[in-house]
Amino acid sequence: MNFPAAPEITAAAWLNVDVPLSMQALQGNVVMLHAFQMLCPACVSQATPQAAAVAECFAGDDFQLIGLHTVFEHHSVMTPDALRVYAAEFRLQFPIAIDQPAENGPVPVTMAKLGLQGTPSTVLVDRAGNIRFSHFGTLSDMQLGAMVGQLLSM
């Protein structure tokens, strides 16, 4: 079965890293992209805390969580400065890419490249850099943990 290659993240800025991350440099690791917005209720209540827990659970196991703050609505209130405050308040320690706004239209660049439908969204990338799973909405802890574990065992 052929799986599509994960596109590079096109970020306007990064939080919680000194050097921007790249999908190419992360090959050999399992990568989870957690697409979220600060004003997304399901992101705040379930998906972002779950992503942080997954990162903690699989730390040191050739696993990398990347948050993708992808703003496609309410642009005026979800600024990079507001995201910095949000990340600090919620003690988000994983790398967060601020998706590059599109030149035409509301859908940011990386969100469009990944074909995401909204937030929260989860994208799992295997060690070869291929997208193995993409989902819009929330997932159960067991389902997500099992999928990450399966990719790590490959």
Does the pLDDT at position 1 exceed 90? no
Is residue 45 in a domain? Answer: yes
* Residue 94 CA from chain centroid, whole number: 10
Is residue 5 in a domain? Answer: no
Interval 91-97 mean pLDDT? 96
The pLDDT, as a whole number, for residue 75 is 62
Interval 4-18 mean pLDDT? 97
The pLDDT, as a whole number, for residue 76 is 66
Is residue 59 in a domain? Answer: yes
The CATH number of whichever domain residue 141 belongs to comes to 3.40.30.10
The pLDDT, as a whole number, for residue 106 is 86
Does the pLDDT at position 3 exceed 90? yes
Q: What is the pTM for the complete model shown?
A: 0.94
Is residue 2 in a domain? Answer: no
Q: How many domains does the chain have?
A: 1
Is residue 1 in a domain? Answer: no
CA distances from 19 to 111, 140, 152 (A): 21, 32, 25
pLDDT tens digits along 33-92: 999 999 999 999 999 999 999 999 999 879 999 999 998 766 666 688 999 999 999 999
> Considering the chain, what percentage of its residues have pLDDT values greater than 90?
85
DSSP state string for 52-118 = HHHHHHTTTSSEEEEEEE--SS-TTTS-HHHHHHHHHHTT--S-EEEEPPPSSSSS-HHHHHHT--S
- The residue segments making up the domain with residue 118 are 11-153
Is residue 52 in a domain? Answer: yes
pLDDT tens digits along 99-115: 999 998 888 999 999 99
Mean pLDDT over each residue of the chain, to the nearest integer: 94
